[in-house]
Amino acid sequence: MSDLTWAPDGTKMFEKLMNAVPEAMRDMVKPQLVQFLTAKAAGKPVTAEVVTRMVKEDLPEPQKGMIMQALGIQKPAAKKKEPRDVPPSEGGTVQLQAEESWEGNSEAMFECMIREVPEALRDVFRGKLMDVLKQKAKGGLFQESHVVEIVNEIVPEPFKSNIIKAFSTIGGVDVSAVGSIIEQFPGGQESLMPLLHAIQSQYGYVPEEALRIVSQKKGVFMSTLYRLVTSFQAFRSEEPKKYQVSICNGTGCHVNGCGTLLKKLEEKAADTHSQITLEKVRCLGCCDLSPAVMVNGEVYGGPDAQAKISEILGE
């Protein structure tokens, strides 16, 4: 700032500008702002007009709009008062206006992101970030992946890391091991498959909370990670149930009782609150033990299979 000459109104406007910047970011952004002002002033004193022009022309969105509102350069857009009900249609029925729809933990994540903004600027940031969220949703549901993308694309450090860390606790999954797992697989997208397998090995499935951390650490969009997890049968996106049951549906096992066991298991597994994940297989490689079932990786045959299934069914 020693190379600049300041007019009194320029000094006041610049101080106001710095006060609008979150405290943790001030030391980081100040040299860049001074550089912008040096170019704008072109050897003349820095006035309030020069600072205003710098904000309008050199700062990126959405930060520019937020700071302009904080400085009083630009007034917040008036909110349209839209009634929830619209006039009746020709048939006489009243249609309700669509409301914002949040999927999963997306709303809690959005509020978590807003809490990282200094209180005085939250209303300004909320409106701007909500506009970005609506653009990403394209008229559909607000998804968790949309919020994560906003954080990765817009939010600077150290706020980005703080928010991603806070996201990891929202779903109630302890993801403290994910960071060390990621360190075992250096590189870019070529490391994602073995990394996701390692995460599934740790948790029994691939939690969304873990994907958020991978997204932030690897710089990969959540949508890319979702595609990988849902495209390959080897990955599970939901926490496994208590009993993973594979039942042989081959001819030998079927005639020796597996048909009856399978019917009972299918009825139980169809229950909404069932703790059974059922899989029919052609053979478990132990035909001499028919009927054969595998429960959580352990094979049971004959009377032992019957007893194990009765235990699972609570008979």
Query: What is the DSSP secondary-structure string of 233-251?
Result: TT--SSPPPSEEEEEE-SH
Q: How many CB atoms lie within 10 A of CB 106?
A: 21
Q: Residue 171 has what pLDDT?
A: 65
Burial 3-33 (b: 16+ CB within 10 A, else e): ebebbeebbebbeebeebbbeeeeeebeeeb
pLDDT higher than 90, residue 192? yes
Q: Residue 128 has what pLDDT?
A: 83
Q: How many CB atoms lie within 10 A of CB 303?
A: 10
Q: What CA–CA distance (Å, rounded) separates 97 from 80?
A: 14
Q: What percent of the chain has pLDDT over 90?
A: 6
Q: Residue 81 has what pLDDT?
A: 42
At 235-248, the pLDDT tens digits run 888 777 788 888 88
pLDDT higher than 80, residue 109? yes
Q: What percent of the chain has pLDDT over 70?
A: 85
Confidence of residue 265 (pLDDT cuts 50, 70, 90): confident
Q: Residue 82 has what pLDDT?
A: 43
CB 70 within 8 A of CB 76: no
Q: Residue 96 has what pLDDT?
A: 34
Q: How many CB atoms lie within 10 A of CB 205?
A: 16
pLDDT higher than 90, residue 201? no
At 44-86, the pLDDT tens digits run 998 989 988 888 888 776 667 777 777 777 654 444 444 344 3
| Mean pLDDT (whole number) for 254-281 | 80
Tokens matching residue 170: 């929202």
CB 117 within 8 A of CB 125: yes
pLDDT higher than 90, residue 185? yes
Helices (H), the chain: 8-20, 26-41, 48-58, 63-71, 106-115, 122-137, 144-154, 159-167, 178-183, 192-203, 208-218, 222-231, 251-253, 259-269, 303-313
Q: What CA–CA distance (Å, rounded) separates 186 from 223?
A: 21
Instruction: Please give the distance of CA 275 from its chain centroid, rounded to a whole number.
Output: 27
CATH 3.30.1360.200 fits domain 243-313:
no
